[in-house]
């Protein structure tokens, strides 16, 4: 048990440059929230729902993190800071990282029937601060959700999603799967934020060029049709 705790603390230290020691990590609200959730989830599976909720409410008051006792969470889950909401049917894989103000929310159940209504977050995914992931969708392994993005559709493995509604950028799965990226942002010289912005602009320029070519083709076709009509009239 002690070795498992040490491995968990080390996994957080590998993803967060701030702590100087494991003792410091033990004070993190995300660590307390996860530990109390393990207790609440054990009670929930034993159908001791009131006690599970009691532990959940105590955890929320203590950490400002609300994890429903029914949520299923894998190994080495890291919540960096607080104010996170995770719904009942959410499923979180191993080594997932979530930053502050993230919501794993549900869609309205049809006719009051619960069922699966919260997201599934696959291994090594990173969710940026303020991200809203809504509904019974799946976020693929090593995917990254940008800050304040709103995700309502499945996210492919290794994709980087930004915006409202969230859309994929040009960062490929091969690039994002090399190692953990603090704050979900590439930091190397090759894949720095400026490079990403340039690539996105290039993509937009290509899309505009394609649209201009389509408009030119449509215009030429329209002119040809008008010429044909005029020729028909002259022959008449």
pLDDT at residue 92, as a whole number: 97
pLDDT band at 228 (very low <50, low <70, confident <90, very high): low
Does residue 191 surpass a pLDDT of 70? no
d(CA 92, CA 229): 64
Does residue 188 surpass a pLDDT of 50? no
User: At the topology level of CATH, where does 2-185 sit?
Assistant: UDP N-Acetylglucosamine Acyltransferase; domain 1 (2.160.10)
- Mean pLDDT over all residues of the chain? 83
Residue spans of the domains in the chain: they are: 2-185, 192-236
Which 8-state DSSP code applies to residue 135? S
d(CA 78, CA 31): 7
Letter string b/e over residues 64-103, b meaning 16 or more CB atoms within 10 A of that residue's CB = ebbbbbbbebeebbbbbbbbbbbbbbbbbbebbbbbbbbb
Q: What is the pLDDT of residues 1-55, one digit of tens each?
A: 678 889 999 999 988 888 899 999 999 999 999 999 999 999 999 999 999 999 9
Task: Name the percent of the chain lying above pLDDT 90.
Answer: 54
**Cβ contact 187:204 at 8 Å:** no
């Amino acid at each position: 048990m002690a070795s498992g705790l040490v491995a968990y603390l080390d996994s957080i230290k590998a993803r967060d440059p701030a702590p100087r020691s494991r003792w410091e990590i033990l004070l993190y609200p995300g660590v307390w929230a996860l530990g109390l959730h393990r207790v609440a989830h054990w009670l929930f599976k034993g159908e001791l729902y009131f006690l599970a909720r009691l532990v959940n409410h105590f955890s929320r008051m203590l950490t400002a993190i609300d994890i429903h006792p029914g949520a299923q969470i894998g190994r080495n889950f890291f919540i960096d800071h607080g104010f996170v909401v995770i719904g009942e049917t959410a499923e979180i894989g191993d080594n997932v990282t979530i930053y502050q103000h993230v919501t794993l929310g549900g869609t309205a159940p049809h006719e009051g029937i619960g069922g699966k209504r919260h997201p599934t977050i696959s291994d090594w995914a990173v969710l940026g601060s303020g991200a809203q992931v809504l509904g019974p969708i799946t976020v693929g392994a090593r995917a990254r959700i940008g800050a304040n993005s709103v995700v309502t559709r499945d996210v492919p493995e290794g994709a980087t999603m930004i915006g409202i509604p969230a859309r994929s950028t040009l960062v490929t799965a091969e690039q994002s799967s090399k190692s953990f990226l603090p704050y979900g942002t590439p930091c190397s010289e090759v894949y720095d934020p400026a490079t990403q912005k340039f690539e996105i602009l290039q993509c937009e320029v290509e899309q505009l060029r394609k649209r201009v070519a389509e408009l030119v083709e449509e215009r030429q076709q329209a002119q040809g049709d008008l010429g044909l009509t005029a020729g028909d009239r002259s022959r008449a």
